[in-house]
Amino acid sequence: MSVSSVVIKPKKHYEILDGLRGVAAILVVAFHVFEAFSGGNRFKQIINHGYLAVDFFFLLSGFVVAYAYDDRWGEMTQWEFYKRRLIRLQPMVIMGSIIGALLYYLQASALLFPMIADMPVWKLILVMVVGFTLIPLTPSADIRGWGEMHPLNGPAWSLFFEYIANILYALFFRKFSNKVLAVFVLLFAGMLINYTVFGVKGDVIGGWSFNTEQINVGFTRLLYPFFAGILLNRLGKIVHIRGAFWLCSLLITAILVIPRIGDENSLWINGLYESFCIILMFPLIVAIGAGGEIKNAFSAKICKWLGNISYPLYITHYPLIYWYTAWVVDNKVSLKDGIGMGAVLLISSIIIAYLCLKFYDEPVRNWLEKKNRKQVI
């Protein structure tokens, strides 16, 4: 029997971390709902730091990947690792692109998305198929006007970087000692601080366009949290606190909803806040979540449900946001008049995510896992 034919038994989930991923995903949707009323002004955005959820996801991913695979490289090849990650993530990437294509023409807006009205169907289909692969599009191939590398489903940019992180882990970082990894993590923290505190924006917003500036933002956001998550898992520094899930949920909510700190003349203050949250607070939250225990059935059900819908919700909600933002802008809808529809969007996004999970994602992943096992045995 070859190494790749060994059936790797799944490890137990960190239930609280699953739940926290769901809390952050719901806050991302709420952030995007309120973003429609900001007029593109980051200083007026409600749930102002909601975009930091992506950086939290990166740290969670690094922690979980190290937990799941660090001690299993004697049982699997690199290709086996890649297949497992693709089976876990890729089905919903495809679904997100499909939903984005289905809703594309409904998002037409003379003010916001003027390109949509005259876009030929063949080009939409081509972009959808490219979206299946996560291959990024250059701004010249955009079909929306926002310059996104995935114009049918904007948040797919973070999955593009997630895949890069997994490749870097499999090729190099899994082989590093903790000391060497710690040196890289410190260097990546320095990159983050340099960009946020000493840069020209004072935040980590960006990463979704395929150009030099945005790719730099994407790697700045990716490298510290993902590999800090790996180091945190290796060090085993977890914190045992009662009520860990509820405490961590409160902490992550507070971090994401806090108003913008400082103004256009003091960008470094907000950059310092974001660096503090990403470098110190997010690892602390993960350490508390990993060390906590679920003591009652209600909390266990909440964490499981939140964990199950977290990824489908994150990767499918944005086509609805395109439509909602176009409606708000074209009709000059006020926050007071539009928040009700925003609540409907949030609920609809959760329902769509749950339906995708039960009737598509789980069945497809189960089928792919069974097929993979048959191929390697």
**Residue indicated by tokens 């959808």:** 128
Cα–Cα distance measured from residue 209 to residue 34, given in angstroms and rounded to the nearest whole number: 22
Angle at the Cα of 186 from the Cα atoms of 185 and 191, rounded to 5 degrees: 95
The confidence score (pLDDT) of residue 375 equals: 66
- The reported pLDDT for the residue numbered 3 is 41
Helix axes 282-291, 52-69, angle to 10 degrees: 50
Average pLDDT over residues 94-99: 98
Lowest-confidence pick of 10-14, 21-25, 291-295: 10-14
Q: For residues 231-242, give the mean pLDDT.
A: 96
CA-CA-CA-CA dihedral for 199, 280, 23, 158, to nearest 10: 40
Amino acid 282: pLDDT: 98
Identify the pLDDT of residue 4: 41
> Above 80 in pLDDT, residue 376?
no
Q: What is the pLDDT of residue 65?
A: 98
| Full residue range of the structural domain in which residue 140 is found | 3-376
108-141: b (≥16 Cβ within 10 Å) or e: bbeebbeebeebeeeebeebbebbeebebbeeee
pLDDT of residue 13: 83
Residues 303-357 pLDDT 10s: 999 999 999 999 999 999 999 999 999 999 999 999 999 999 999 999 999 999 9
Domain count, the chain: 1
Q: What's this model's pTM, rounded to 2 decimal places? A: 0.96
Tens of pLDDT, residues 250-308: 999 999 999 999 999 999 999 999 999 999 999 999 999 999 999 899 999 999 999 99
- Tell me the average pLDDT across 71-87: 96
* pLDDT bucket at 8, cuts 50 / 70 / 90: low
Q: Token digits for 147?
A: 């310059």
Q: Is 88 exposed, middle or buried (0-12, 13-18, 19+ CB in 10 A)?
A: middle
Q: What percent of the chain has pLDDT over 70?
A: 96
